[in-house]
Amino acid sequence: MQKNKMVNIYLYSRYERFWHWFQSALIIILLLTGFELHGTFSLFGFRSAVDVHNFVGLSWLILFAFFIFWLFTTGEFRQYIPTTRKMLAVVRYYSYGIFRGETHPVPKRRELKHNPLQRLVYLSLAALLLPIQMATGFLYWGYNSWPTWGLEWLSLPVIAFIHMAGAFAILSFLVVHIYMITTGHTISVHTKAMITGWEEVEEGTQIEDWEQKERKAPQAAS
């Protein structure tokens, strides 16, 4: 069995990693408190769950603005522009090739962190699902101010419905996402990349010089 030599590339900047883990913590707390408020289970106690959910939700809203700022000032938003190129190859890989031990058809590079499927999923998430969730959450929170905001035509059940549907969608994403990070060439390689910033990829992938500098050879390289 022939195996390509593995090399490390610096994939995720410090801010990206911070934002990823911080946002995941916010989302998990919001899911836990949110489903408690929905009456699914009892964990923090209703009153604390309300306070935590409101505080974390509002914090997320503010921090998300920084993320948007970062996306556009760094040009990283380009990583989210959807494409159909190699889309079928990626779908074929996850539904067939992965079981045969094939290599990923779209290997990661610094300027290409997301494969076509990821682009589509993360664009839907960052541009649609999360903003909808934040907007409905904010309106839900501001329910008593609707008349002042000129929004008395809004309906609480409708807002609650959309917010709940969003919650299910995010929970479902979380389940699939947690599984997908195990699909690298080793189970932990993606997770490690999101912690250290360095991802192990097969040699031969186009890597720019600057990506490898100032970083000693990683221990885990085989």
Partner 1 sequence: MNIKSNEARCTSCHAGYGWKGNDFDFADQTKVDCLVCHEQTGTYKKFPAGGGNPAPKSMVFKGNGKTYHPPDWNKVAQSVGRPTRKNCGTCHFFGGGGDGVKHGDLDSSMMKPNKTLDVHMGVDGQNFDCVRCHSTSLHNIAGRVYTTPASEHRKSLIQDDLASKITCESCHSSIPHKEDAKANDHTDKVACQSCHIPAFARVNPTKMRWDWSTAGKKKDGKPYTEKGEFGKPKYDTKKGDFVWAKNVMPEYFWFNGSIEHLTVKDTIDPGNTVRINLPVGSGDDPNSRIFPFKVHRGKLPYDKVNKNLVIPHLFPKGKDDKAAYWKGFNWGKAIAYGMEYAGLQYSGEYDFVETEYVFPSTHMVAPKENVVACIECHSRSEGRLAKLSGFYMPSRDRFRVLDTIGWIVVLGSLAGVLLHGLVRVFIPKDRKRG
Q: Which residues bind partner 1 (CB under 8 A)?
A: 1-3, 37-39, 42, 45-47, 50-51, 94, 98-102, 143-144, 156-157, 160-161, 164-165, 167-169, 171-172, 175-176, 179-180, 182-183
- Between 72 and 179, CB nearer to partner 1: 179
CB of 67 to partner 1, least distance (A): 25
Closest approach, Cβ 22 to partner 1, in A, equals 24
Q: Spell out the residues 6+ positions from residue 161 whose beta carbon is closer than 8 angstroms to its own.
A: none
CA-wise closest residue to 110 among 72, 76, 70, 73: 76
Q: How far apart are the C-alpha atoms of 114 and 118, rounded to whole Å? A: 5
If the CB atoms of residues 63 and 169 are measured against partner 1, the closer one turns out to be 169
> Closest separation between CB of residue 2 and partner 1, Å?
5
Q: How far is the CB of 195 from partner 1 (least distance, A)?
A: 22
Nearest to 94 by CA among 125, 112, 121, 126: 121
Contact predicate 115/123, CB 8 Å: no
For the bound state, the minimum distance from the C-beta of residue 99 to partner 1, rounded and expressed in Å, comes to 5
Contact status, residue 144 vs residue 111, Cβ threshold 8 Å: no
Nearer to partner 1, 18 or 175 (CB): 175
Phi, psi of 206, rounded to the nearest 5 degrees? -70, 115
**Residue 37 and residue 43: Cα distance in Å, rounded?**
10
Q: Which is nearer to partner 1, 51 or 111 (CB)?
A: 51
Q: Which is nearer to partner 1, 10 or 133 (CB)?
A: 133
Other CB atoms within 10 Å distance of the CB of residue 153: 6
**Residues 149, 15: Cα–Cα separation, whole Å:** 35
- To partner 1, the closest distance from the beta carbon of 83 in angstroms equals 24
Kindly tell me which of 39 and 150 has the beta carbon lying closer to partner 1.
Answer: 39
